[in-house]
Chain A
Amino acid sequence: MSDYILLYILFAPFAGAIALIFASNRQPMLVRGIAAVSAGISLVASLYLFYAYDPVKGGFQFIHKFEWSRQLGIALHLGVDGIGTPLVLASSILLFAGIFVSWHIKDRTKEFYIWLLILAAATIGVFMSLDLFFLYFFYEMSVIPMYLLLGMWGSHTKKYLEMTDQEGLKQRDSVGFIFNFAANSKEYAAMKLVLFLSAWAVVALMGILLIYRYSGLNTFDILQLREHAKLMNIPVLGTTLDRIIWVLIFFGFASIAPLWPLHSWSPVGHAAAPAATSMLHAGVLMKLGHFSIIRVAFEILPDTTRELMPIAAVLCIFSIIYGGFVAFYAKDTKYVIGYSSSSHMGYVFLGMAALNYIGLSGAVIYMFAHAMATGMLFAMAGWVYDQTHTRDIPSLGGLANRMPFIAGCFVIAWR
């Protein structure tokens, strides 16, 4: 059992998604059941993983390696360390919870659960990958389902589809659609999110490919590259090149975190997303950024990290303050949570930028804690929206009278 634990966690949701393809929308309970069971297997397995991970021994445990292409040095290399384990657990908790939160979805239930399972499984995949190729593979895989989840099951903030420009042309049919920042349709949010994230993912990919090219090891294996970095000491690949790669990797992955100047897709995406997706999105997807930066930039380019991370910390502080201010003024529940998340993520960055044991372990704990709290908040926001059909905060005044339980949960989640 314990030998293949990572495979259970990773492939249970994928297997569930495949099984769902053959289910029918006419039996919604069966569909939900399959999704819940596969997520449940993943949850139980990751609880076991959390219990079985040996913190005294530390390092990477439960390692699996399957050759994928020997010539290119790509292998499905899985393993978790003390950072990956809690995040894997958080993902499977949120996936399991998300399935129950979206129990009421009646429109194309099957497809919704398929994409939700793929999204969560891809996220888990990133947290386990010890191979740069597969890290990127799962990372990219977690971005695209967001488009469908938002575009199909999301919600508009305005009566967007009827909006026309001066010439009477429907706005969604004009090319300016993609750059139309005023409109808050779910389609716009979905497109913005996917384009932003894939654009920055590609920047990170450039960094990864440069590492592959200049390390000369002909491998994508993170452990080997890390050993290489240790042996070579400073500078790993040549100082300037190291800095370029570091910047590419950092900003590429920080976009999903989301760091301050790259954050603008995030609140829009949160607002448009259905509750379960927001939960996964804010709960774990954002952490992909921090995690990947730790995994790639910190592990492979330690010296450059020591040099540049303090500079990047300035952006983190901006992120914290800016996110906080906007959240303070926002009038939409989901915007508030979205901006507050992006503010909190700044703290994680700051913890990482401390570059010491306490800072880093604080960041990891914070990531796990934030995953739980935000997951809960978005679930609450979703429930409130289901009952009231509004997310406008001024019109939700005195809600605690009618929904004392939810109000209580809000308080707990928001500390």
Chain B
Amino acid sequence: MLEQLDSTFPILTCLLFFPLVGAAVLWLFDDEDLVRTSALTIALVELALAIFVLMRFVPGSPAMQFVEHVPWIPALGISYHLAVDGISVLFVGLTAFLTVLVVIYSWDTIRYQTKLYMMALLALETTTMGVFISLDLILFFVFWELMLIPSYFLIKLWGGGAERHYAALKYVLYTLLGSVFMLVGIALLNINYHNYASLHHMDQLYSFDLLDLLAVPVPLHQQMLIFWLMFMGFAFKAPVFPFHTWLPDALLEGPIGMAVVLAGIKLGTFGFMRFSIPLLPEASKSPTVVSIMMALGLAAIVYGAIMALVQPDFRRLLAYSSISHLGFIVIGLFALNYQGLQGSLLTMINLGFTTAGLFFIAGFLQSRQQTTQLTAFGGMAKHTPLLAAFFLLIGLASIGLPGTNGFVGEFLVLLGTFKAHWVYGAFAVTGVIFGAAYFLWYYERSMMGPVGKAVRESIDDLHLREMVIAVSLAIMILWIGLYPAPFLRMMNGSVQALVNRIDHGTVAVLKERGREMSDTRPAGDEPLAARPGSLAADSL
């Protein structure tokens, strides 16, 4: 019944644990150069594995692929269930890609405890991968929480700012606070499953498995409760507008590598897309939730952009701009239609190249002037033309110049939002204008014009390692910008299934299940449902 493409080789387990094993192996080495080289090798092998998954992934299919399912705690219905679909597969690639770049970046910018740093980074990669590929909610939650440990140490030990201890603690506490609520939500889902299962005499009485949970209906009032509980978890992590205060601190005080991962990999909004919306479709599309989420998203867009406009510090500017971009993702998600969901998924991926790329640029600036304050710059383009050129390219991508990836994502989100309601769309477009204002203004003052007093004549342009980072980001930016079809094709099966799920809700699941049991093929009566394998319950 499930069109699950089993692979004989447990590729996802390898993908998941390879960096962790690599981190353990790093422990044995003492020589710093050896540590760096092996960390890079591990990250590259991981990237190769991720690319292999991306190549073998069947695009356009809504099915879960590369499934690995082993019972873990059968009594509670907890299992070790890994799989990727169109929603998560690109994040797998993105995580591996960014980790390679961070390792390259950290080559000479991390001066002490290099070994521990690399180990923490690789451990962080494992936990991030785990969040993306787990289908079991408990497994997901384990990785979600484990992620805090390497993050905490990365910010606390290698952060550049004076307030790094505070920032690390703030980040951990905020995320934990959110996750507690989320855990309650997960428990409630399990209880709901249990009630349903005992009522219908199903074989399995408990389950935390996403696919199982999708197959049972959840009463609406309970959906609302669970939605807001899950919301707390994801909103703190994302961070959605009023829960964002930890982000500027963590991004500013932590090391650049951590900032890249935090700003580039959008775990919170991924959580909405993976769990909240498909598990709780009726709640997600209820007018209250939609209008609250839209309001939060629009507030984030405007607030983030205005705050970014007045920041003299580039990293702080980036932190606020990433809050603003997150608003775009949120309104795309809660437009709840094909274009909106696809657009916000693509935007999440895009930000992994643009915002993360700008953090790398901030790192390049910092390693030259020891600060990202505006006063240290001015007319940099004269002495560092390459840095200025890549800064411009990545920045223009982040404000959505046509031909770069930012434009495609933004356009799809706006299209989806306009389809949902034109009022939301009308507010959302202001973000586009603000975005151009804050980026161009900062760029003009730091890179153009007369050379600043603090800028030395002998300032270096990009060296080889930095060029590798900048060029690989530029390739991705232009690739998605000019020819996004392969990326969109990868996600469209799953996004379509998600849209069907939203349209039909959990009640439809029952009907479909009934039909399946009588072994008839489900006939799609709507064009949307006519796609092969669009069974909402199975495909998500």
Which A residues are closer than 8 A to B by beta carbons?
68-69, 71-72, 108, 111, 122, 133, 136-138, 140-141, 144, 147-148, 151-152, 161, 172-173, 175, 177-178, 187, 190-191, 194-195, 198-199, 202-203, 205-206, 209-210, 212-213
Once the chains bind, are B433 and A202 in contact (CB under 8 Å)? yes
CA of A147 to CA of B29, assembled, Å: 51
Once the chains bind, are B415 and A72 in contact (CB under 8 Å)? yes
Q: Max chain B CB contacts within 10 Å: which of A72, A108, A173?
A: A72
Once the chains bind, are A191 and B414 in contact (CB under 8 Å)? no
Once the chains bind, are A137 and B402 in contact (CB under 8 Å)? yes
Once the chains bind, are B426 and A206 in contact (CB under 8 Å)? yes
Once the chains bind, are A144 and B444 in contact (CB under 8 Å)? no
Once the chains bind, are A205 and B402 in contact (CB under 8 Å)? no
Once the chains bind, are B441 and A191 in contact (CB under 8 Å)? yes
A147's closest neighbor in chain B, by CB?
B440
Once the chains bind, are A206 and B436 in contact (CB under 8 Å)? no
Once the chains bind, are B444 and A198 in contact (CB under 8 Å)? no
CA of A206 to CA of B433, assembled, Å: 13
Once the chains bind, are B485 and A198 in contact (CB under 8 Å)? no
Given contacts A108-B385, A191-B440, whether A71 and B338 have CB atoms under 8 Å apart is yes
Q: Does B508 contact A (CB under 8 A)?
A: no
A70's closest neighbor in chain B, by CB?
B485
Once the chains bind, are A177 and B401 in contact (CB under 8 Å)? no
Once the chains bind, are B401 and A140 in contact (CB under 8 Å)? yes
Task: Tally chain B residues at the interface, Cβ within 8 Å.
Answer: 40
Residue among B374, B407, B444 making CB contact with A151, cutoff 8 Å:
B444
Q: Which stretch (B14-22, B268-276, B362-370, B445-453) binds chain A?
A: B445-453
CA of A138 to CA of B402, assembled, Å: 7
Q: Does B422 contact A (CB under 8 A)?
A: yes
A175 contact set on B, CB distance < 8 A: 309-310
A140 contact set on B, CB distance < 8 A: 401-402, 407
Q: CB-defined interface of B426-444 with A at 8 Å, one 1/0 digit per residue?
A: 1001101100110011001
Given contacts A147-B440, A190-B444, A209-B415, whether A141 and B385 have CB atoms under 8 Å apart is no
CA of A175 to CA of B432, assembled, Å: 19
Majority DSSP secondary structure for residues of B touching A: helix
Once the chains bind, are B429 and A205 in contact (CB under 8 Å)? yes
Which B residues are closer than 8 A to A by beta carbons?
309-310, 338-339, 374, 381, 385, 389, 392, 396, 401-403, 407, 411-412, 414-415, 418-419, 422, 425-426, 429-430, 432-433, 436-437, 440-441, 444-445, 448-450, 484-485, 488, 492
A134's closest neighbor in chain B, by CB?
B402
Q: A111-B389, A178-B441 are in contact. List 10 more A-B contacts (CB 8 A).
A: A68-B485, A72-B339, A72-B415, A108-B385, A137-B402, A161-B449, A172-B445, A190-B444, A203-B429, A206-B418
CA of A71 to CA of B343, assembled, Å: 13
Given contacts A140-B407, A209-B418, whether A202 and B429 have CB atoms under 8 Å apart is yes
Once the chains bind, are A152 and B485 in contact (CB under 8 Å)? no
Once the chains bind, are B432 and A202 in contact (CB under 8 Å)? yes
Given contacts A195-B437, A210-B422, whether A71 and B492 have CB atoms under 8 Å apart is yes
B482's closest neighbor in chain A, by CB?
A68
Q: How far is the CB of B314 from chain A (nearest CB, A)?
A: 14
Once the chains bind, are A144 and B437 in contact (CB under 8 Å)? no
CA of A393 to CA of B422, assembled, Å: 49
Q: How far is the CB of A152 from chain B (nearest CB, A)?
A: 6
A177 contact set on B, CB distance < 8 A: 441
Residue among A72, A137, A152, A198 making CB contact with B448, cutoff 8 Å:
A152
Majority DSSP secondary structure for residues of A touching B: helix
CA of A148 to CA of B432, assembled, Å: 18
Once the chains bind, are B433 and A199 in contact (CB under 8 Å)? yes
Q: How far is the CB of B342 from chain A (nearest CB, A)?
A: 9
Once the chains bind, are A151 and B419 in contact (CB under 8 Å)? no
Residue among A147, A178, A191, A206 making CB contact with B429, cutoff 8 Å:
A206
Residue among A137, A203, A210 making CB contact with B407, cutoff 8 Å:
A137
For the complex of A and B, the 8 pairs showing the least CB-CB separation, nearest first, are A209-B418, A141-B402, A137-B402, A202-B429, A199-B433, A140-B402, A144-B401, A198-B436
Once the chains bind, are B415 and A212 in contact (CB under 8 Å)? yes
Given contacts A141-B401, A151-B448, A187-B444, whether A209 and B437 have CB atoms under 8 Å apart is no
A-B pairs with beta carbons under 8 Å apart, 18 shown: A69-B488, A71-B338, A72-B415, A141-B402, A144-B436, A151-B448, A172-B445, A175-B310, A190-B440, A194-B440, A195-B436, A198-B433, A199-B433, A209-B414, A209-B425, A212-B418, A213-B419, A213-B422
CA of A262 to CA of B437, assembled, Å: 19
Q: How far is the CB of A327 from chain B (nearest CB, A)?
A: 29
Residue among A108, A195, A198, A205 making CB contact with B414, cutoff 8 Å:
A205
A152 contact set on B, CB distance < 8 A: 381, 448
Once the chains bind, are B402 and A161 in contact (CB under 8 Å)? no
Q: How far is the CB of A333 from chain B (nearest CB, A)?
A: 25
CA of A144 to CA of B338, assembled, Å: 29
B444 contact set on A, CB distance < 8 A: 151, 187, 190-191
A210 contact set on B, CB distance < 8 A: 418, 422
Given contacts A133-B411, A191-B440, A199-B433, whether A141 and B425 have CB atoms under 8 Å apart is no
CA of A190 to CA of B429, assembled, Å: 21
Q: How far is the CB of A74 from chain B (nearest CB, A)?
A: 9
B485 contact set on A, CB distance < 8 A: 68-69
Residue among A71, A191, A213 making CB contact with B437, cutoff 8 Å:
A191
A136 contact set on B, CB distance < 8 A: 402
CA of A145 to CA of B467, assembled, Å: 24
Q: Max chain B CB contacts within 10 Å: which of A194, A205, A212?
A: A205
Once the chains bind, are A178 and B448 in contact (CB under 8 Å)? no
Once the chains bind, are B425 and A195 in contact (CB under 8 Å)? no
Once the chains bind, are A198 and B432 in contact (CB under 8 Å)? yes
B374 contact set on A, CB distance < 8 A: 173
Q: How far is the CB of B532 from chain A (nearest CB, A)?
A: 15
